[in-house]
Amino acid sequence: CRSNSPPWAKCPYFLDTLLRDMADLGVWKYKRNIEKLDVMSDKNTMRVALRTGILQFRIPLLASFLDVFCYQYSMVDRLNREAWRKVWEEWGKIYNNHRPPTPASMDYLIFRLGKIACRPNKRFCLPEKEVAEKKLESLIPQDRLIFRADKYCIFSDVCELERKILNAPNSISIEGRTGWKSGKSNEGGGGGISS
């Protein structure tokens, strides 16, 4: 979000979320331009994109004190939205595809997947442990769908071993008002303070 922008342009993903939710709740119907609603880019959707390989970089993503205007994070944010949009477009080419009406509608699945099955330091995919039965039973029914019958994440076979530790970049930004704490390094990249 840019602080010097008008309110509706500060965080377009909030507007996309509002429009998507109002349509999904039946408050209004989509008439046109529904394909322009993006997946909301956050650390969960970025992490799933990096680990599945739909978003790849030649160099490691680092939180740098020199990137005080958050250019790296903004670039990853934009590319993440574009990558998920491309997934949505390709999904539409499959016969009898059951694709959601907008790219933003995929956010439910991707966000929950990143939040529950593909967490920063705990993953439910090989070679890690499968999700415990007790944990699975505690989830609401639609969240159980992110696990296969063998209790591993639905993307378990898609993520290559070397990508399974990747994490979204952390933002250390004057403009984004994030602090030094978010720059602590972790095993999967996305942290790691450099200068």
33 Rama sector, left if φ>0, alpha if ψ -120 to 50, beta otherwise: left
Residue 182 in domain:
yes
pTM value is 0.79
14-19 contacts, C-beta under 8 A, 24 or more apart = 16/40, 16/104, 17/104, 17/107, 19/104
Residue 102 in domain:
yes
Residue 2 in domain:
no
Residue 124 in domain:
yes
Residue 1 in domain:
no
Residue 160 in domain:
yes
Residue 184, pLDDT score:
44
Domain that holds residue 20: 7-194
The three-point CA angle 149-91-126 to 5° equals 35
Cα separation, 41 vs 148, in Å, equals 25
Hey, which bits of 17-115 come out as E strands?
A: 63-64
pLDDT in 10s for each residue of the chain, 195 residues = 545 555 555 567 778 888 888 888 889 888 888 888 888 888 999 999 999 999 998 877 766 665 666 778 888 889 999 999 999 999 999 999 899 888 988 988 999 999 999 998 888 988 888 999 999 999 999 999 999 999 999 999 999 988 988 988 876 655 555 554 544 445 555 544 444
Number of domains in the chain: 1
Residue 4, pLDDT score:
57
**For the chain, how many residues are written?**
195
Residue 110 in domain:
yes
Cα separation, 92 vs 95, in Å, equals 8
The three-point CA angle 158-191-104 to 5° equals 50
Residue 33 in domain:
yes
